[in-house]
């Protein structure tokens, strides 16, 4: 589609997060059009027109931070906001992607953890095709200068499934008064010590 052409105009490091966002938006529209049957062709035509307009104007659709609002923003402005956030927070580009190395390390650790984790569950606790976490951003319309609120999608990260599993295990065995927060690290250490 025309969306891909617009995404290719971006910095290569930012293309994958935009592809994910675009795919989700297109899937949502596609799902709603499948439910409406007769409106499908009309909605597809409208979607194609929107994608063409976004491409020619070098714009993109982004969710706003609050509410169920989406905004259309110039692609260069969005990229600039994300780049400024990365620069202001001292992020650096790694020489090599550590995802494969981390995945192999995690698999070795899981194989050595057969007393803690059942071997039958181990294959479900690792990603088949791990990917590095992706940075996404929402625009804060209610703040001056419309900064971004960043969030990380780590569902494809090597440790995502095992972290989720271990969280469930800890929640079953640790009975903390507030299941979502810990007062401080000392309280957490004391609670862990008492449970063992």
Query: What pLDDT is attached to residue 63?
Result: 85
Compute the distance between CA of residue 148 and CA of residue 105 in angstroms, rounded to an integer. 34
Length of the chain: 196
Query: What pLDDT is attached to residue 97?
Result: 92
pTM for this prediction: 0.57
Q: Decide: 66 and 77 in contact? Cβ < 8 Å.
A: no
Contacts of 13 (CB under 8 A, 6+ apart): 93
Query: What pLDDT is attached to residue 177?
Result: 67
Q: Is 180 exposed, middle or buried (0-12, 13-18, 19+ CB in 10 A)?
A: exposed
* Token code pair at residue 85: 């956030």
Query: What pLDDT is attached to residue 184?
Result: 79
75: DSSP letter: H
Query: What pLDDT is attached to residue 160?
Result: 93
Task: Split the chain (196 residues) into runs of 10 and give each run's mean pLDDT.
Answer: 68 79 79 64 85 86 83 89 91 91 90 80 86 90 87 91 87 72 80 81
């Amino acid at each position: 589609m025309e969306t891909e052409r617009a995404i290719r105009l971006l910095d290569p490091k930012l293309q994958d997060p935009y592809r994910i966002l675009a795919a989700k938006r297109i899937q949502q529209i596609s799902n709603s059009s499948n439910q409406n049957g007769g409106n499908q062709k009309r909605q597809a035509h409208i979607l194609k027109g929107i994608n063409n307009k976004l491409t020619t104007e070098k714009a993109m659709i982004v969710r706003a931070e609050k509410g169920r609002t989406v905004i259309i923003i110039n692609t260069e402005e969005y990229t600039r906001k994300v780049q400024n956030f990365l620069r202001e927070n001292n992020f650096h580009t790694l020489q090599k992607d550590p995802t494969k190395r981390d995945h192999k390390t995690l698999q070795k650790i899981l194989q050595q953890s057969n007393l803690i984790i059942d071997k039958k569950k181990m294959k479900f606790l690792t990603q088949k095709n791990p990917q590095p976490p992706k940075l996404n951003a929402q625009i804060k319309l209610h703040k001056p200068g419309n900064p971004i609120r960043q969030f990380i999608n780590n569902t494809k990260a090597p440790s995502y499934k095992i972290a989720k599993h271990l969280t469930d295990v800890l929640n079953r065995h640790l009975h903390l008064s507030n299941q979502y927060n810990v007062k401080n690290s000392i309280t957490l250490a004391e609670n862990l010590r008492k449970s063992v």
